[in-house]
Amino acid sequence: MRPNFVFILADDLGYADLGCYGGRASCSPSLDRLASEGLRFTDGYANSPVCSPTRFALMTGRFQYRLRGGNDEPIASRHRGNPALGLPPAHPTLPSLLRDAGYATALVGKWHLGFLPHFGPLKSGYGEFFGPMSGGLDYFTHRDSAGHHDLYEGEAEAHRVGYLTDLISERAAEFVGRQAASRTPFLLSVHYTAPHWPWETREDDALARTLERISHTDGGSVQTYLTMIRHMDEGIGRVLEALTRIGAAENTFVVFTSDNGGERYSDTWPLVGKKMDLLEGGIRVPYIVRWPARVPAGRDTPQLAITMDWVATFLEAAGAAPDSGYPLDGISLLPVLVNPNLRVERDLYWRMKFRNQRAMHRGTGSISPSTATSFCSIFPGISVNGRTVRGTNRTGWPPCERATLRGKRPCPPYRPTQRSRSRTRRPTWPSRPDRVYAKISVTARETSGNASSVTVAAPVRRLVSR
């Protein structure tokens, strides 16, 4: 019997925010229970330390650099209507491949892969959509960073009253409830905007009306941030309860993770770096998997994994095939999920235009005390502004970790061969477009078919080297 899939994505969650990852407060009882009932990855990574690039990888199962929009860090609200910055509808995606295999598909929550009329969830394989198109919006006014109202039902604006995290949770649970009368397997993507700024809890409706900018640089606190996580966790609990009510929990493959590392009030201890950094704290994220029918409960795995792996994993679990014209860069994690003792040796690579960063991760990613050779796995391959970082801190340890176990986790010396290995073995990626834009006039065709002339920001055709 083919499984259902529920993929839950947090926004800017730190590696150590959750209780099951050593969090400083009890803010995640539902997710902690999910971890106890399934498998917890200690070395799960995001495809990027910032939002929309990771989402390109999640949708396509391929490095985000293969698509123009995936090179923006991230796609900004000011580029609304840009015909170049988004996930091309013709590109195969996880939802489109599962849809073609007979699955019902829905996205509840954040899209952030381009704007209408050129891009959108319904154009890329989802049968239903409720949520925002942009990267961040106010939890009460539902306006994005450019001031646009940005809550949609399908491709029509939807004006709703309520705290966005709760609206997402309620709609996701409602979708699950509707599957009780259906024998069709389903993919439900639940992409929260929490705990991304603005720093607002359910009690902050009045505050939301006073904010001049939703980036909210003058507000927030650790307590507010943890409460935002708690609200999200409560909603996840409702979705999981809905699965139980319809009798689908046993054969539903649930994954929880974050699009990148945390920022500002997040907890990434003992990792160094946060969002926008190609350091452990910027890209190592929680990965929790529960599938009672196949995945053993209460286990951990140090298997090295990355966001784009979930496409290959879900397709194998569903018995569906990828599109041969778009070979996947990710690998299926299904063998490891079924047998957590298994390890797959692999190399991973990242790049960022921001500060010209590059990083490489080599090996299984194992950091358990009995087998570890390094607790700073990213370190040997870091490059910032074209310069390889290989200095150490006062204790003689690389700066990727703030907490070290001197004498227990010996760190190997930097090897010049790491750079040459990265250059020769990393995938062949397209040249990176420069983030320089010009105002041009284009003709956009609305969904009604009426053509109208609009001015958008479009990329200048100037490239920089990889």
- Residue-wise pLDDT for 415-447, tens only, equals 445 555 656 566 677 776 654 333 322 333 333
Question: Quick one: pLDDT at residue 464?
Answer: 28
Per-residue confidence at 302, pLDDT binned at 50, 70, 90?
very high
Task: Report how far residue 307's alpha carbon sits from residue 319's, in angstroms, rounded to the nearest whole number.
Answer: 20
4-339: what CATH class?
alpha beta
pLDDT at 114 over 50: yes
Q: Is 408 exposed, middle or buried (0-12, 13-18, 19+ CB in 10 A)?
A: exposed
Q: pLDDT tens, 175-204?
A: 999 999 899 999 999 999 999 999 999 999
Q: State the average pLDDT over residues 105-116.
A: 96
Question: Quick one: pLDDT at residue 460?
Answer: 32
Question: Quick one: pLDDT at residue 440?
Answer: 29
Task: Report how far residue 285's alpha carbon sits from residue 336's, in angstroms, rounded to the nearest whole number.
Answer: 18
Active-site annotation, residues? 51, 112
Task: Report how far residue 55's alpha carbon sits from residue 67's, in angstroms, rounded to the nearest whole number.
Answer: 12
* Strand-pair partners of 249: none
* Segment among 91-100, 116-125, 276-285, 397-406 with least mean pLDDT: 397-406
Q: How many CB atoms sit inside 10 A of residue 68's CB?
A: 16
Question: Quick one: pLDDT at residue 420?
Answer: 57
Instruction: Calculate what percentage of the chain has a pLDDT beyond 70.
Output: 79
Q: State the average pLDDT over residues 370-390.
A: 40
Cα 163-169-172 angle, rounded to 5 deg: 140
- Give yes or no for a contact between 40 and 76, defined as CB atoms under 8 angstroms apart: no
- Give yes or no for a contact between 44 and 250, defined as CB atoms under 8 angstroms apart: no
Q: What are phi and psi of 132, to 5 degrees?
A: -90, 150
Helix (H, G, I), strand (E, B) or coil at 4: strand
Q: Which residue has the higher pLDDT, 394 or 152?
A: 152
Helical axes 309-318 vs 51-60, angle rounded to 10°: 30
* Identity of the amino acid at 73: E
pLDDT at 305 over 50: yes
Domain boundaries defined on the chain:
4-339, 348-425, 436-464
Helix (H, G, I), strand (E, B) or coil at 459: strand
Question: Quick one: pLDDT at residue 355?
Answer: 87
